Structure 1
């Protein structure tokens, strides 16, 4: 989201960041930017007045749940605004994979969440998709018209020779790390797998090495996994993810389910930290390039590969070089930013919406249920 904001700022857009979320010590600080922040409420007509005054030309929703909540109000107040949905990842895909793993059944994508998320995509003028695999699923399995979706991965600054000169050396690093907030199910599942299966096998081969788990929202059940004798450390929230990863030799993430792209691997590449993961973890991240570490689904081979990567300096340094190539070729903001802005500004909204007749149908009918449910809550809150 911050990358998208910066992209539009660079183009000269005025940005208003509106959210109903409460501020915390970890909220992004816009005070040194020209971004205007606006607190908004759920199910409240004050949002209509705010929109009417602001009258934006583009409205970008952060995930489909936000479009469900506010989309109909935007259409009422600003019918000519271009509506963009930032999917982040396909929630229905992640949930289907999680359910498949838990129940040991084949993946069923055609769920109620899929209906909601796809309806949101159809109601919007353009949806941002972060993964090539998800683009494929949308166009091939769900027959979503290609004009409604746009592939836009992470927008990263290139890694230069000057960048690599500041990387911590192989000799000055120690231990393995995993990072990711604990309320995100793929992360919590990975931590449990590390504790129960992967680390018991790994520590017998790397007896003096520690595994350090970083992440926000540490609960008692998470803290209970810590064991100093086993060198299994729960570190909690990392103040700076990249600085934290730069101190360790490997980012270890045997992810079993999920969707989208994994920001933890991008952070690791930026600081020259190789990664050990699964095909699910690396999905859509490397294209046809070599991974910056190992990709292995068999846990025995995963353990052996991690040990070799940890101990073999030449292999480790080769993994670093692979990471540089992945980031510079697949995530360079210079490659994606301007074409995206050009695409957004070239959309003829009347023609575009006329061609998306299914979207018109959904906007005419299905949003009425959301609209009147929200209005009912709004009236109820007045009492």
Structure 2
């Protein structure tokens, strides 16, 4: 392979989200092979986006439902096209296949959108059954089994679209083993279509401070991501008051990109609840905190904030959804709990007990060493892509369901897109 085209759902923001960090990791990996890598995106330029030109990656603005993309990709003739999330595959894969039929089509889910959406809906349903706001704040994280998740997802539009995109692609990169198991066990997706590739973490430049040198709790996450916003609300109304009762001088620093007014309105210095918004160096503030709080009641994928916490030597308290896909059989670097009181108890113990804190830090380092080795993960992905390139025709022949879906689904998507493009041309003329 010589040429790679990455089509982004958004411009990557590695300092705002785990998805942005993952995209940079993939771009750096491809560039390290000596491949010519281009990044194209139809989204508006964002405030905190990375300058990909520093990586030697050309940035190309493209348009939805516009034949100009066909001319661009036909001229580029990439050997591999990576689609950033299934929305992008729906929009552009049929155009890529028509212009470059031999190019490998790889989908990166970042996290399984339909799984996150199903868990969010399960939480909403439970909240709707509550008699008061206070009762809603006492609800624990979603604890649905794979069978229950399948029942919630099977008829959803997003699951059908996302899994169809997985079948249509030559390979899909999955960030979480749990999602791999869910797709294969409950939805029957062939293992040959999936590749597990966790975050390929870049070590922080900031040195880890000792227990005595650290102070305060930290919570961090992009406010535009629904699980993060729910976590902030759960902290504000249920969890932090319990922690503050035990630690009256404790402070919680809440960071994250794009805080809306409803988030900054939660800032209250008397309660020790500080909504600080955007920070340009998450590793720096994470390394200064003593404990990271990540009370995620729904979500999917691997949580970048918790990986960063381990990399910075900061123990964390989270839920089973927060730790999902990260530690395997290894003990968590902190505590994994579900209900408000237990969450508060674990947070206080970790904050006060130096020996417990040091053990949690060591466990976090062990997780990173065993499960997030940048070199090994990158080598495995490149080897899988090269094998797929060599066996492309046989691989595609064995994926009859994918061929069938491309024939039917892409025809309808193609005709709709062409109709929009024709309408736009008529309007301009």
Fold shared, TM-score > 0.5 on shorter chain: yes
Q: Distance in 1 between matches of 2:195 and 2:53?
A: 31
Q: Which residue of 2 aligns with 1:226?
A: 267
Is 1:22–2:44 an aligned residue pair? yes
Q: Which residue of 2 aligns with 1:88?
A: 110
Aligned to 1:145, which of 160, 173, 190? 190
Q: Which residue of 2 aligns with 1:103?
A: 125
Secondary structure in 2 aligned to 1:218? coil
TM-score, with length taken from structure 2: 0.86
Asked whether the 8 Å contact 1:182–1:188 carries over to 2, the reply is yes
Asked whether the 8 Å contact 1:158–1:332 carries over to 2, the reply is no
Q: Which residue of 2 aligns with 1:370?
A: 413
Name structure 1 gaps, 5 residues minimum.
none
Q: Which residue of 1 aligns with 2:278?
A: 237
Asked whether the 8 Å contact 2:228–2:296 carries over to 1, the reply is yes
Q: Distance in 2 between matches of 1:157 and 1:221?
A: 33
Aligned to 2:316, which of 275, 293, 307? 275
Once the two structures are TM-superposed, the CA of residue 181 in structure 1 deviates from its matched residue by: 1.1
Q: Which residue of 2 aligns with 1:381?
A: 424
Once the two structures are TM-superposed, the CA of residue 21 in structure 1 deviates from its matched residue by: 1.9
**Residues 341-380 of structure 1: per-residue CA shift (max 9 Å, x gap):** 1111112111110000000001111111111111111112
Asked whether the 8 Å contact 1:157–1:332 carries over to 2, the reply is no
**Residues 37-65 of structure 1: per-residue CA shift (max 9 Å, x gap):** 11111111110110011000000000000
Q: Which residue of 1 aligns with 2:299?
A: 258
Once the two structures are TM-superposed, the CA of residue 265 in structure 1 deviates from its matched residue by: 0.6
Is 1:5–2:48 an aligned residue pair? no
Higher mean C-alpha deviation, range 263-272 or range 25-34? 25-34
Secondary structure in 1 aligned to 2:195? strand
Higher mean C-alpha deviation, range 328-337 or range 140-149? 328-337
Higher mean C-alpha deviation, range 100-109 or range 331-340? 100-109
Is 1:176–2:176 an aligned residue pair? no
**Residues 3-34 of structure 1: per-residue CA shift (max 9 Å, x gap):** 11111111111100111122233111123222
Secondary structure in 2 aligned to 1:229? helix
Secondary structure in 1 aligned to 2:270? coil
Q: Which residue of 1 aligns with 2:165?
A: 120
Asked whether the 8 Å contact 2:292–2:317 carries over to 1, the reply is yes
Q: Which residue of 1 aligns with 2:177?
A: 132
Q: Which residue of 1 aligns with 2:8?
A: none
Aligned to 2:87, which of 65, 84, 88? 65
TM-score, with length taken from structure 1: 0.96
Asked whether the 8 Å contact 2:53–2:59 carries over to 1, the reply is no
Is 1:155–2:200 an aligned residue pair? yes
**Residues 196-248 of structure 1: per-residue CA shift (max 9 Å, x gap):** 10011110111101111111111111111111110111101111111121111
**Residues 254-291 of structure 1: per-residue CA shift (max 9 Å, x gap):** 11110010000111111111101111111111111111
Is 1:189–2:189 an aligned residue pair? no
Size of the aligned set, in residue pairs, is: 379
Is 1:79–2:101 an aligned residue pair? yes
Asked whether the 8 Å contact 1:275–1:294 carries over to 2, the reply is yes
Is 1:302–2:347 an aligned residue pair? no
Q: Which residue of 1 aligns with 2:325?
A: 284
Asked whether the 8 Å contact 2:170–2:193 carries over to 1, the reply is yes
Asked whether the 8 Å contact 2:28–2:55 carries over to 1, the reply is no
Q: Distance in 1 between matches of 2:87 and 2:197?
A: 20
Aligned to 1:349, which of 383, 392, 398? 392
Aligned to 1:359, which of 402, 409, 415? 402
Secondary structure in 1 aligned to 2:320? coil
Q: Distance in 2 between matches of 1:333 and 1:350?
A: 30
Q: Distance in 1 between matches of 2:124 and 2:63?
A: 36
